[in-house]
Amino acid sequence: MVFSEMSVCGYMPEDLLDYPYFIEKCEHSLEVVAQSCQGIAAIVGGVIRNPNKGRLLQNVACFMNNGRIEQVIPKTLLPTYDVFTEARYFEPAKESSIIEFQGVKIGIAICEDLWDQYNDFEYTTSPAEQLKALGADIIINPSASPFNLGKQSHRNRVFSGQVNRFKIPVLYVNQVGMHTELLFDGSSKAVNPNGDISIQLPEFEESVAQLEYHHGYFSVENSNLTIGTDNVALLHKALVFGIRDYFQKMGFKKAVLGASGGIDSALVQHLAVEALGAENVLAVLMPSRFSSEGSVSDAVELSKNLGNEHIILPIEDVHSAYEGSLKPIFEGTEVGLAEENLQARSRAVLLMAISNKKGNILLNTSNKSEMAVGYSTLYGDLCGSLSVIGDVYKTQVYALCEHLFSSQGKIPRNIIDKEPSAELRPDQKDSDSLPPYSILDGILRLYIEEKKGHNEIVMEGYDAAVVAKVMRLVNANEYKRYQAPPILRVSTKSFGKGRVMPLVAQYEI
């Protein structure tokens, strides 16, 4: 039986690994599991103290048989880029070794150990090559490989590439679950030497399958291949799973969100109802003097369609009280950002008051395009316990809503079709301050995901002044993202721990 990487503690306990009593627990758990391995062998991922000089810990896979840990295989390649920080904790293995079991030579390559040639850089050692040289018949790859859109085909390239390189089958076993920012999607699979995928387990679902191994090939009865979900459907599945698993693991049950009648909050509300049930979602409508009639009626209709409770709580009284109190300070100044932010922050305080009073957890509804350019109010609409769509560009928000509209029909058409507006001043439109989202998102992708500079982005066909403006906005708003909620990561480069930018910096763009 093969378990995923670090399965006794979950991936990734981060600085809990600095605490000796936590490590003792991890080691103890491995012993407990080993004792139950009677008549069945298991490969179990965990963490142990490094018996030699160097970093204090090792990320290991334990081969368990006959009630005990018979062999310990440490990981060699410690991913330390993007969301990965393994060199912070672990000493790498110095050499590879093979497990012999029932006449089969098993090579264990823990997650990154199989990815020596598939990053922006090439590692100086190849554990899989060493395993092949030691005569491995199969490679087992216990993993904690986070999901992002496109990851499935990336993994398939890696596995088929390695199978082709070494001519031995690969068994990949991945974690399932949401962990702070990361979504682990499972999708475990066995790949045969001819490149065929013998089995692929479902996405975002715990499951178990039994495989046979004969003459260099894996085979399985009732192979259930769930390959080929399209990107929008997969993104939808990922986000619903992320909310549900976050709430479950944190012991939360009920959610609250601000429902503006706009497309972002509509999407988050829809996802929350799917994840938690309509009875556990509370939508709070907080119209201001600048809110259109349509905003309120659209938001009401959405809640009726989804079947969740909603409250209407106008912010006028609070808004005027702030204006009154600040009059001596604001008098004679031009109306601007300070006044607009007052509204967003009034709403946040009301939402947090409801959250504190009723125990509903506040969901953040900002999308990635807004988070990128700072089209959001810190301590206002940037509040929340979890950012559901903070890694979803506005163009993807539209695609998701079209998908939900055509499959479930609960989002009022008007919410999807109306022009986006923050409604913080009369007749405000997003397009007053920002380029069209199709252009904005294109530039953002090149800058954030592809790490291109100004000249390179312009070479892709974008207007130089627009590119400079967008880059400046992204750079100037690092401070807001520094204090933003954790974001469900669904792209190759999400705001959060995978993108660490200095606040103190002077940019030339």
Q: Which of residues 49-78 bind its own copies (CB under 8 A)?
A: 53-56, 78
Catalytic: which of 9, 26, 37, 111? 111
Q: Which of 29, 85, 160, 219 binds its own copies (CB under 8 A)?
A: 85
Binding to its own copies in span 13-42, by CB under 8 A: 13-16, 18-21
What is the helix (H) or strand (E) element at residue 406, kind and residue range?
helix 394-408
Contacts of residue 53, Cβ cutoff 8 Å, sequence gap at least 6: none
Q: Which is nearer to its own copies, 163 or 484 (CB)?
A: 484
| DSSP for residue 207 | -
400 and 232 Cβ atoms separated by less than 8 Å:
yes
Q: What is the per-residue binding string for its own copies in 345-384, x denoting contact by CB under 8 A?
A: xx-xxx-xxx-xxx-------------------xx---x-
CA atoms within 13 A on the CB side of 120: 8
152 and 146 Cβ atoms separated by less than 8 Å:
no
Within 10 Å of residue 419's Cβ, how many Cβ atoms?
7
Binding to its own copies in span 447-486, by CB under 8 A: 451, 453-456, 479, 482-486
Strands 255-258 and 281-285: parallel
Binding of its own copies at residue 232 (CB under 8 A)? no
315 and 343 Cβ atoms separated by less than 8 Å:
yes
Query: Can 26 be counted among the known catalytic residues?
Result: no
CA distance 229 to 42: 31
Query: Can 129 be counted among the known catalytic residues?
Result: no
Binding to its own copies in span 313-352, by CB under 8 A: 313-315, 317-318, 320-322, 324-326, 329-330, 333, 337-338, 341-342, 345-346, 348-350, 352
Q: What is the per-residue binding string for its own copies in 390-429, x denoting contact by CB under 8 A?
A: ----------------------------------------
- With contacts defined by CB under 8 A, name the span among 175-183, 406-414, 422-430, 433-441 that binds its own copies: 175-183
Angle at CA of residue 76, ends 196 and 209, nearest 5°:
35
Query: Can 111 be counted among the known catalytic residues?
Result: yes
Report residue 455 as tokens.
């000249």
| Amino acid identity at 448 | I
- The closest of 194, 198, 134 to 172, measured between CA atoms, is 198
Q: Which is nearer to its own copies, 208 or 505 (CB)?
A: 505
Smallest gap, in angstroms, from Cβ of residue 46 to its own copies? Answer: 17
Catalytic: which of 9, 37, 75, 368? 75
Q: Which of 133, 134, 225, 250 binds its own copies (CB under 8 A)?
A: 250
Please work out the total of residues on this chain that contact its own copies, with binding judged by CB under 8 A. Answer: 85
Q: Which is nearer to its own copies, 164 or 483 (CB)?
A: 483
CA distance 166 to 42: 24
Q: Which is nearer to its own copies, 216 or 314 (CB)?
A: 314
CA distance 67 to 41: 9
- With contacts defined by CB under 8 A, name the span among 209-217, 222-230, 311-319, 394-402 that binds its own copies: 311-319
- Could you list the active site residues? 5, 75, 111
